[in-house]
Chains A and B, each alone.
Chain A
Amino acid sequence: MIDLQGIEKAFGSNRVLRGVDLSIGTGTSMVIIGGSGTGKSVLLKCILGLVTPDAGSIRLDGRDVANAPRDEFLARFGMLFQGAALFDSLPVWHNVAFRLLRGANRCPKAEAREIAVEKLRRVGLKPEVADLYPAELSGGMQKRVGLARAIAAEPEIIFFDEPTTGLDPIMAGVINELIREIVSEMGATAMTITHDMSSVRAIADHVAMLHDGVIQWTGPIAEMDATPDPYVQQFINGRAEGPIASVR
């Protein structure tokens, strides 16, 4: 269980998060929606410790993450970054097996490569891809490799940051399906941030809408379309008119 209480974060005079309260149950897939620049990525980075919140508490299974041993804490997470964030200087298999080749749970190189190839196969990539470099891959393939890296060490919690940004609708659908399948078969807790409604419908068990630095609405995906919340309605229907100011 991930429990966020009163998370605040400002960059200079820009108060991005103004008191975020949110709980994500173990084994559930939470999708956070919201417009560009509303602080979705900042929230996710706060949980991972990449950004330090100004106020509030983040608890993982009841334990304050600020006091948790860093490596032990991060070992429970996998993350797919918006641009995949693959290491250019390393071949694909090395990217996927990065965690397996280092740290306390390191395994022999041959075994790490075998696991990497298996994870690549799981995301629909052939073994030949393992020896290519990230620059030789298309955007969709890079996202798949990023996904393979996120699941390589079988984490309990996986974060997806805008998993379908920059992909064509068909490839976006493939990535959404892969995420849903993998999260289900691993029984992992997932947190996805996106403003792509097709991703929301494919991936989410629960949805939370972030706007003006707070969670405006949260509930099961089944209740999203019927909610009278004007923020959610404007966002999911893509209306220019409503409480969310649009710049034209």
Chain B
Amino acid sequence: MSLTSPFAATGRVVLSALATLGRVTIFALQAASHILRPPFYTREFLNALMQIGWFSLPVVGLTALFTGGALALQIYAGGARFNAESVVPSIVAIGMVRELGPVLGGLMVAARVASSIAAEIGTMKVTEQIDALVTLSTDPMKYLVAPRVLAATLAVPVLVAVGDSIGIWGGYLVGVTRLDFNAATYLKNTVDFLEFWDVASGLVKGAVFGFTVAVMGCYHGMRSGRGAQGVGRATKLAVVSASVMILAANYVLTEVFFSA
């Protein structure tokens, strides 16, 4: 082994990572451009909207409900150390709409949707259905990718909004039933301390996360290797990369939106 081997190995890893980043970026730009240009496949879009939006509601709702409740308990316990129990309603609301609603909602959608998109498109690839689409004069980017990416970009902010509401309600339930808050005071404190931008920033995050989830699902599905192992690997990569990118994007967006 020569002295330069570690440098060469590091270089190869960096080049490979940059190449992947470049491919994903080009894929995302192509997906975005296909959303804007006809033909539009309305049936596929509405189907994707149902699959991504409607059918993700239970998992996003339950996640938000339990997170809101746990958050109320944690803030109460922490606040009690310096007699600040009264901040529970406002911190639950701000924490849910700014961070936990979009991030946990995004991660749950990543787990549910990125895997399903990657598995579906990957299976279509290995069974030659994507080749069949091309021979039938249909662009797979338009027919498979664009409807899913658009649907996820529109559906996830709605899921985040619903998740925010359920999360705050979870905090309210715990606050009123377990922590002896007055119901009217709890609601008043929630509303008084919540600002428009708190909610709007979470919804913007949701749109970015939805776009990310669908792009990663489609990208890995379209690049799936042969056989069950290839599809399994594509599915795993889709979920892992979508989750990591959601967390990274969340940090960047938080810096942009809220840094002083």
Smallest beta-carbon distance B55→chain A, Å = 15
- The contact of B135 among A79, A82, A89, by CB within 8 Å, is A79
Smallest beta-carbon distance A155→chain B, Å = 10
- Are A85 and B137 neighbours in the complex by a CB distance under 8 Å? no
Check: A62 CB closer than 8 A to any chain B CB.
no
> Which residues in chain A, 50-81, are within 8 Å of chain B measured between CB atoms?
50, 70-71, 74-75, 77-79, 81
Number of residue pairs A-B, CB distance < 8 angstroms: 49
Question: Interface residues of B toward A: which range?
Answer: 10 to 19
Smallest beta-carbon distance A123→chain B, Å = 17
- Are B134 and A99 neighbours in the complex by a CB distance under 8 Å? no
- Are B138 and A102 neighbours in the complex by a CB distance under 8 Å? yes
Smallest beta-carbon distance B135→chain A, Å = 5
In the complex, which residues of chain A have a beta carbon less than 8 angstroms from the beta carbon of B132?
79, 81, 85-87
> Which residues in chain B, 108-149, are within 8 Å of chain A measured between CB atoms?
124, 127-129, 131-138
Looking across the interface, which residue of chain A has its beta carbon closest to that of B135?
A79
- Are B131 and A45 neighbours in the complex by a CB distance under 8 Å? yes
Smallest beta-carbon distance A18→chain B, Å = 23
In the complex with contacts A85-B127, A85-B128, A85-B129, A103-B135 CB distance below 8 A: no
Number of interface residues of A (CB under 8 A): 24
In the complex, which residues of chain B have a beta carbon less than 8 angstroms from the beta carbon of A99?
136-137
- Are B128 and A103 neighbours in the complex by a CB distance under 8 Å? no
Looking across the interface, which residue of chain B has its beta carbon closest to that of A71?
B137
Smallest beta-carbon distance A134→chain B, Å = 10
Docked Cα-Cα span, A217 to B127, in Å, equals 31
- Are A74 and B129 neighbours in the complex by a CB distance under 8 Å? no
- Are A77 and B127 neighbours in the complex by a CB distance under 8 Å? no
Q: Mark A91-103, 1 if CB is under 8 A from B, else 0.
A: 0000000110011
Check: B39 CB closer than 8 A to any chain A CB.
yes
In the complex, which residues of chain A have a beta carbon less than 8 angstroms from the beta carbon of B124?
87-88
> Which residues in chain B, 39-75, are within 8 Å of chain A measured between CB atoms?
39, 47
In the complex, which residues of chain A have a beta carbon less than 8 angstroms from the beta carbon of B129?
85-88
Docked Cα-Cα span, A82 to B137, in Å, equals 19
In the complex, which residues of chain A have a beta carbon less than 8 angstroms from the beta carbon of B127?
83, 85
In the complex, which residues of chain A have a beta carbon less than 8 angstroms from the beta carbon of B47?
89
In the complex, which residues of chain A have a beta carbon less than 8 angstroms from the beta carbon of B133?
87
- The contact of B137 among A50, A103, A149, by CB within 8 Å, is A103
29 chain-A/chain-B pairs, Cβ below 8 angstroms: A45-B131, A48-B134, A49-B134, A50-B134, A70-B137, A74-B134, A74-B135, A74-B137, A75-B137, A79-B132, A79-B135, A81-B128, A81-B132, A82-B128, A85-B127, A85-B129, A85-B131, A85-B132, A86-B132, A87-B124, A87-B129, A88-B124, A88-B129, A89-B47, A98-B138, A99-B136, A102-B39, A103-B137, A103-B138
Give me 17 other A-B pairs in contact (C-beta within 8 A), A79-B135, A102-B39 excluded. A50-B134, A50-B135, A70-B137, A75-B137, A78-B135, A79-B132, A82-B128, A83-B127, A83-B128, A85-B128, A87-B133, A88-B124, A98-B138, A99-B136, A102-B137, A102-B138, A103-B137
